């Protein structure tokens, strides 16, 4: 009989792969992958802040604080870029601000409660082997929201990536689409980090889009390959982890690297 | 003469740098005009002013009676814009039909749902006007420079604009392609009564169409038909590096 832990692991991995395959191509095509990965710093800061606020006696669940904080920071990054900062600089500003907030919140929380830091880390850094049914439901909801938003607005985000000035001249409200993209990336970063852990979140946010955008000749292909790469990498990763008794997050990472090598070395003619 | 573009005493600055200095001119619809000037003369800034992407610090702009600062989206709905090819990210794997669809869909309200058969036939109609219907599903990055420029023009005219703005449409093209693109732009102007304002370093591909020429170097030095504007006096004022070597005139840049 298959263990419930393994079933939960497989279901959550497939859901996460679905979420990642939808947003990762948008991040890659809009050259926002580094900003997306930087969101994971924001998630950590939001988590520490959430735990601090909770221990200060305010009845606000830490996850709510984390989501609100991440959304606000994503809007701040989008606004900085809108005002002429490069994505790198905007991401750097967000990174050091988040790290400062995380350090300060962590210190203050540890003075209030001796278990606060442990709570914050366990709350933030999920693990595939510890996945619960509530995590699976959260991921399912996130998948639905992400898929709907990406289906509705991917064209505009891609048009802006292709030719931002032309998109503005055509009347697209670039600022709001940027808010939407970064907001979506931040919510996905929160969901993936809390359910599966920051390492898998890093891998799944970056790899599928980066690989698929390099080998595709149309947008439909980018999303198709992204879905295939995400699913394949989590399946291979889980099988490897189960067979070799190694951490699934690490094995998913190994699977992604193997897939990347296959595409870039063995199928060189396939690459554009 | 119908109302077209009216620019009155427009000054634009980027920080301390003056991009346009008290520029005034008016062009009645339908016009076929070229803005010439050295690098950094404010040519692109002028185009951006016309669609409200840049706000003048003083002066006023009217495009078909609309103020691009107050009503940018109304102005953009009657304007087609072809940016410099250098500002386009060609690593995004879009096909020709996707790019033309941008021009069509951008005028609809989000989420811009449309039957794919209707969209395909609208795209094909526009591609036929530009003469590249055989490129419908070709990847943009695989096209030649001239074909890419035609695709960008197709996108710009997709919503049947009254005014077509082109930023250096002849850059990075060979002589044959430059002539072909000039012919296409003039045909759009003639057949569809589209007003055309383009930025170009070289006007020879368009000379046979007798364009109105604007000589700009932060200030506007002259406006008029090419033969009356392209004089030694005007060019010497606008181009700091102007020189004549035998029968060749060199319009050098002022990098001082």
% of chain B at pLDDT higher than 90: 81
Task: Enumerate residues 134 to 173 of chain A having a beta carbon within 8 A of any beta carbon in chain B.
Answer: 152-153, 155-156, 158-159, 161-172
Is the pLDDT at A268 greater than 90, yes or no?
Answer: no
User: What residue of B is the nearest CA neighbor of A159?
Assistant: B102
What's the whole-number mean pLDDT along residues A15-19?
94
Render pLDDT for B111-160 as a digit per residue (tens, 0 to 9): 888 899 999 999 999 999 999 999 999 999 999 999 999 999 999 999 99
Whether the pLDDT of residue B256 is over 50: the answer is no
Chain B residue whose CA is closest to A166: B83
All residues of chain A having their beta carbon less than 8 Å from the beta carbon of residue B101 are 155
**Cβ atoms B39, B19 nearer than 8 A:** no
Tell me how far CA of residue B33 lies from CA of A41, A234, B25, B212, in angstroms.
52, 58, 12, 4
Quick one: how far is CA B28 from the chain centroid?
Answer: 16
Compute the average pLDDT of residues B71-92: 94
Q: Does A271 lie at the interface with B, CB-CB under 8 angstroms?
A: no
What separation in angstroms does the CA of B5 have from each of A263, B23, B65, B130, B193? Answer: 53, 13, 8, 25, 15
**Which residues from chain A sit within 8 angstroms of residue B72, using beta carbons?**
171
How many domains, in total, are found in chain A?
Answer: 1
pLDDT of res. A218: 92
Q: Which two tokens stand for residue A36?
A: 């997306």
Give CA separation, A131 vs A126, A239, A243, in Å. Answer: 7, 17, 19
- For residues B33-50, give the mean pLDDT: 95
Find chain A residues with C-beta within 8 A of B153's C-beta. Answer: none
Spatial separation of the C-alpha atoms in residues B161 and B154, rounded to whole Å:
11
**Could you report the predicted ipTM of this complex, rounded to two decimals?**
0.89
Query: How does residue A79 score in pLDDT terms, banded at 50, 70 and 90?
Result: very high
Asked if A163's CB is within 8 angstroms of B83's CB, the reply is yes
Average pLDDT over chain B, rounded to an integer: 92
Cα distance from A17 to chain B (closest Cα, Å)? Answer: 22
Edge-to-edge strand ranges of the sheet holding B212-217: B79-82, B163-167, B195-199, B32-36, B212-217, B219-225
**Rounded distance between C-alpha atoms, residue B235 and residue B215, angstroms:** 8
Taking Cα atoms as reference points, which of A102, A86, A126 lies closest to residue A51?
A102
Domain range for A36 is 4-270
Q: Which domains does chain B have, with CATH numbers?
A: 2-88+161-252 (3.40.50.300)
* Band of residue B252 on the pLDDT scale cut at 50, 70, 90: low
Residues of B with CB under 8 A from a CB of A: 51, 53, 72-73, 76-77, 79, 81-83, 87-89, 91-95, 98-99, 101-103, 105-107, 110-112, 139, 141, 152, 155, 165
Closest by Cβ to B94, choosing from A169, A170, A219:
A219
What average pLDDT does range B26-48 have in this prediction? 96
Please determine, for residue B254, whether its predicted confidence score (pLDDT) is greater than 70.
Answer: no
Looking at residue B35, what is its pLDDT?
Answer: 97
Min Cα distance B229 → chain A (Å) is 30
**CATH number for position A125:** 1.10.3470.10
Point out the residue among A31, A171, A221 whose CB comes nearest to the CB of B73.
Answer: A171
Find tokens 């695709």 and name the residue: B151
Mean pLDDT of A161-189: 95
The predicted pLDDT at position A249 comes to: 81
User: What's the whole-number mean pLDDT along residues A191-213?
Assistant: 87
pLDDT digits (tens, 9 = 90+) for B84-104: 999 999 999 999 999 999 999
Whether the CB-CB separation of B94 and A158 falls below 8 Å is answered with yes
- Between CA A70 and CA B111 the distance in angstroms is 25
Chain B nearest-CA distance from A178, in A, is: 15
Measure B76 CA to nearest chain A CA, in Å: 6
Nearest Cα of chain B lies from the Cα of A156 at a distance, in angstroms, of 8
**pLDDT tens digits, one per residue of A23-52:** 999 999 999 999 899 888 999 999 999 999
pLDDT digits (tens, 9 = 90+) for A88-127: 999 999 999 999 999 999 999 999 988 888 888 876 777 7
Q: Nearest CB to B106: which of A170, A216, A272?
A: A170
């Amino acid at each position: 009989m298959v263990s419930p832990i393994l079933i939960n692991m497989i279901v959550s991995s497939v859901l996460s792969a679905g979420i990642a395959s939808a947003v990762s191509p948008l991040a890659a095509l809009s050259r926002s992958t580094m900003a997306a990965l930087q969101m994971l710093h924001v998630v950590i800061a939001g988590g520490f802040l959430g735990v601090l606020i909770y221990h200060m006696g305010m009845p606000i669940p830490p996850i709510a604080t984390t989501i609100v904080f991440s959304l606000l920071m994503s809007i701040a990054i989008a606004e900085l870029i809108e005002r002429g900062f490069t994505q790198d600089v905007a991401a750097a500003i967000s990174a050091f601000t988040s790290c400062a907030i995380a350090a300060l919140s962590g210190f203050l929380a540890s003075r209030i409660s001796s278990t606060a830091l442990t709570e914050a880390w366990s709350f933030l850094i999920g693990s595939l082997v510890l996945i619960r049914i509530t995590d699976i439901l959260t991921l399912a909801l996130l998948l639905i929201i992400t898929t709907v938003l990406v289906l509705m607005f991917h064209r505009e985000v891609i048009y802006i990536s292709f030719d931002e000035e032309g998109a503005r001249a055509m009347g697209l409200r670039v600022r709001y689409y940027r808010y939407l993209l970064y907001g979506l990336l931040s919510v996905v970063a929160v969901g993936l980090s809390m359910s599966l852990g920051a390492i898998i979140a890093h891998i799944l946010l970056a790899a599928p889009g980066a690989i698929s955008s390099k080998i595709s000749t149309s947008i439909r292909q980018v999303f198709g390959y992204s879905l295939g790469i995400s699913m394949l990498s989590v399946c291979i990763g889980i099988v490897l982890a189960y067979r070799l008794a190694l951490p699934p997050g690490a094995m998913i990472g190994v699977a992604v690297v193997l897939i990347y090598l296959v595409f870039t070395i063995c199928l060189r003619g396939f690459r554009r | 003469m119908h109302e077209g573009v009216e620019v009155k005493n427009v000054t634009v600055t980027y920080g301390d740098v003056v991009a346009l200095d008290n520029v005034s001119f008016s062009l009645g619809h339908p016009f076929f005009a070229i803005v010439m000037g050295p690098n950094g003369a404010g040519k692109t800034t002028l185009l951006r002013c016309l669609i409200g992407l840049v706000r003048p610090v003083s002066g006023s702009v009217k495009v078909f009676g609309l103020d691009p600062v107050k009503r940018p989206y109304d102005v953009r709905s009657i304007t087609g814009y072809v940016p410099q090819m250098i500002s386009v990210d060609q690593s995004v794997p879009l096909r020709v039909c996707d790019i033309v669809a941008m021009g069509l869909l951008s005028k609809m309200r989000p989420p811009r749902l449309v039957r794919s058969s209707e969209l395909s036939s609208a795209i094909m109609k526009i591609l036929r006007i530009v003469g590249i219907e055989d490129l419908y599903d070709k990847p943009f990055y695989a096209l030649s420079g001239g074909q890419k420029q035609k695709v960008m023009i197709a996108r710009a005219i997709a919503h049947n604009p009254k005014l077509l703005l082109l930023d250096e449409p002849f850059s990075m093209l060979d002589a044959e392609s430059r002539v072909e693109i000039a012919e296409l732009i003039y045909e759009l102007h003639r057949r569809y009564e589209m007003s055309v304002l383009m930025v170009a370093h070289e006007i020879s591909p368009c000379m046979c169409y007798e364009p109105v020429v604007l000589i700009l170097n932060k200030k506007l030095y002259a406006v008029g038909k090419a033969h009356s504007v392209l004089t030694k006096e005007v060019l010497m004022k606008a181009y700091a590096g102007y020189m004549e070597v035998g029968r060749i005139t060199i319009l050098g840049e002022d990098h001082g």
